[in-house]
């Protein structure tokens, strides 16, 4: 995956304006439109994880920065261009809000649900 920039040019990667990154992932479980995912970044850019999940149309719960790039038409998710999607509070459907015990007003205080489980140093 490549971390997107606003206007990448033809030689952006060569000029190091964007970074070539790789994340391995595995779905550990899924229910009710949500999933528990194990992520393993293969490069040293931890900020890549929310971006990579957004590019997979599966933003991290509480990711108010990147989740606005995922739109839905008739329940089918699609990726919106970054220049047309301002940062806003993540939007969740009423059913998920109910399962989380949150009101729409509380959603803006929902923290990013991305947790470090293990750190391996070579």
The reply to whether the predicted model has a pTM over 0.75 is no
With cut-offs at 50, 70 and 90, classify the pLDDT of residue 114: confident
Gyration radius of the chain's alpha carbons: 16
Mean pLDDT along residues 87-105:
86
For residues 37 and 53, is the Cβ–Cβ distance under 8 A?
yes
Residues 74, 80: Cα–Cα separation, whole Å: 15
What does the pLDDT read at residue 14?
A: 60
Half-sphere exposure of 38 (CA within 13 A, CB side): 6
3-state class (DSSP) for residue 24: strand
């Amino acid at each position: 995956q490549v971390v997107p920039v606003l206007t990448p040019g033809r030689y952006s990667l060569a000029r190091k304006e964007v970074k070539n990154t790789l994340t391995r992932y595995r779905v550990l479980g899924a229910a009710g439109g949500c999933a528990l995912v194990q992520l393993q970044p293969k490069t040293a850019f931890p900020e890549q994880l929310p971006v990579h999940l957004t590019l997979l149309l599966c933003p991290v719960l509480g990711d108010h920065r990147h989740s606005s790039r995922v739109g839905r038409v008739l329940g089918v998710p699609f990726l919106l261009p970054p220049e047309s999607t301002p940062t806003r509070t993540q939007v969740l459907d009423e059913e998920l809000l109910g399962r989380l015990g949150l009101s729409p007003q509380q959603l803006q205080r929902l923290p990013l649900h991305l947790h470090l489980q293990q750190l391996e140093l070579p």
